[in-house]
Amino acid sequence: MPSGKGSQGTLLVTLRGPDRPGLAARLFEAMAALDLSVLDVEQVQVHGQLLLCVEVAPAGVGMPIPGEVERVQGALGAAIGRLDRRLELTVSELGRLPSGAEEDVGRRHLVTVLAPSLGPTALAGVFGQVASAGGNVDRVVRLSTYPVVSYELSVSGAEAGRLRRELAVTAARLQVDVAVQRAGLHRRAKHLIVLDADSTLLQGEVIDAVAARAGCAAEVAAVTARAMAGELDFARAMDERLSLLAGLDQSVLDEVRDDLRLTPGARTLIRTLQHLGYVTALVSGGFEQVLGPVVERLGIDHLAANRLEVAGGKLTGRLEGELVDRAGKAAALRRFARLAGVPLSRTIAVGDGANDLDMLAAAGLGIAFNAKPVVRDAADAALSVPYLDAILFLLGISRPEIEAVGDA
C-alpha cells in the first residue's frame, strides 16, 4: 500500500468498487486535470472488486493547502461517479512517517506460507506472528490454490532472524510451511538449484532398490539404521553396504533405473526452472550408473554421485573415485556454482537427510523437503507437502506462471 513516504501535504486517494476496463485511466486523467503529481500506486483486484490506492501531491506544493482534500475529493469523485455510482472514492491527507520508519520500510522480507489448505486460523496465526516480530505486512499475493494453497507476504520492519524463529514456532503449531527470505532484485538474477536424489527428486533410496535385487535388503537396512543412529559414519556404512552387493551383475543397475519413480512435481519443477534460466544439478550418495540416464532424460545440467566399480560385468563392492558424502555434496554445490558463475548467495539446495546438512548450510537458501526434524530445524525453509514443485512457490513463482511454461 502507499507508504506516506512523501512530504507533508501528500494525499491518499482510495478507490473501491466493481472493476471495469478504463477505470484507472479515467482516474488518472482526472488527476492530470488537477495538476497532481503521482508518488505511489498500489492496485489489487479480487473477484471483480477493485482496491486502488494512489499517493498524490499538488504540483510544487510541500505543505497542506486549506481545502485541498475537499477540492480533490469533489473533482475525482465526480469524474468516477459518472462511470459507476457503486464506486467509492475517498481522499485523505498523509503525514510524515514516524522517526526511523523509513529505515524499517526499506528492511523487507518475503514470507511464503503454504499448506494443503489455509483457513482463517492459520492466516491469523501467521499475520499475528509477523506483527509480534515487529513487522508489517505491506502486500499479499496468492501464488497457488493447488496442489497446495500458498501466499507470499511482503513484510517490512522486522529483523530476519527473529521473524524466522517466531514464525517457525507458529508454523509447527498450525501445521503449515513458512519460509522467510530477503526481498530484492537478486531473485531475478541467475540461480543454481542443487537437489538431493534419494527421497527428494526420487521416491525411495537407490541403494535399497539394488539391495532388494541382490537379496540382501534386510542386511543393508540394518547397516543404514546403525548409521542413522550414529554408530557408523557415512564412509564406513557405505563400505559395509557395498560389500553386500559384491558379485551382483551390473545389469541389475539398469533394472533399478527403469523402476525409478520421480517425486510428484519433479518434472514440473525442473522444466519451469530451466525455462526461467536456472542452472540445475543433482547430488547423491547413490550411484552414477543409475542416476546418469535420469539426469540426461530430465535435462539436468550437472551430476555428482558415487560410481560403482565393475569388473567382468559384476559389481566389486567398491567405488571408483572420491566418495560423495555429506562434505562431498557441499563441495559439489560450490563447484557447480563456480562453473555457472553464480555466487553462493544465489544458490538453492534441497534435501531431506543429515548428509544434506552441509549443502543446505552452504547454499543461499536451504530447503528441507519432507525431512527429518534435525534437517528441518537447520534449513532456511521446510516443506512437508509431497509435491516437489511446491519449491517454486517459495521462489515466488505462481501457479499461472508455471502453467504458462507447460503450455509454451
Q: Which residues are catalytic?
A: 196, 198
Long-range contacts of 397-404 (CB under 8 A, 24+ apart): 397/143, 397/272, 397/276, 398/141, 398/142, 398/143, 398/144, 399/143, 399/144, 399/145, 399/146, 401/272, 402/268, 402/272
Residue 35: DSSP 8-state: T
Q: Residue 13 in contact with residue 89, Cβ under 8 Å?
A: yes
Alpha helices in 140-250 (DSSP H): 160-174, 206-214, 217-228, 234-245
CA proximity to 128, closest of 150, 101, 155: 155
CA proximity to 212, closest of 264, 248, 180: 248
Q: How far apart are CA 365 and CA 180, in angstroms?
A: 10
* Cell numbers representing residue 22 in the block: 478504463
Q: How far apart are CA 233 and CA 26, in angstroms?
A: 69
Give the angle 382-155-266 at the CA atoms, nearest 5°: 30
Residue 333, number of CB atoms within 10 A of its CB: 26
CA proximity to 363, closest of 235, 199, 181: 181
* Cell numbers representing residue 29 in the block: 486523467
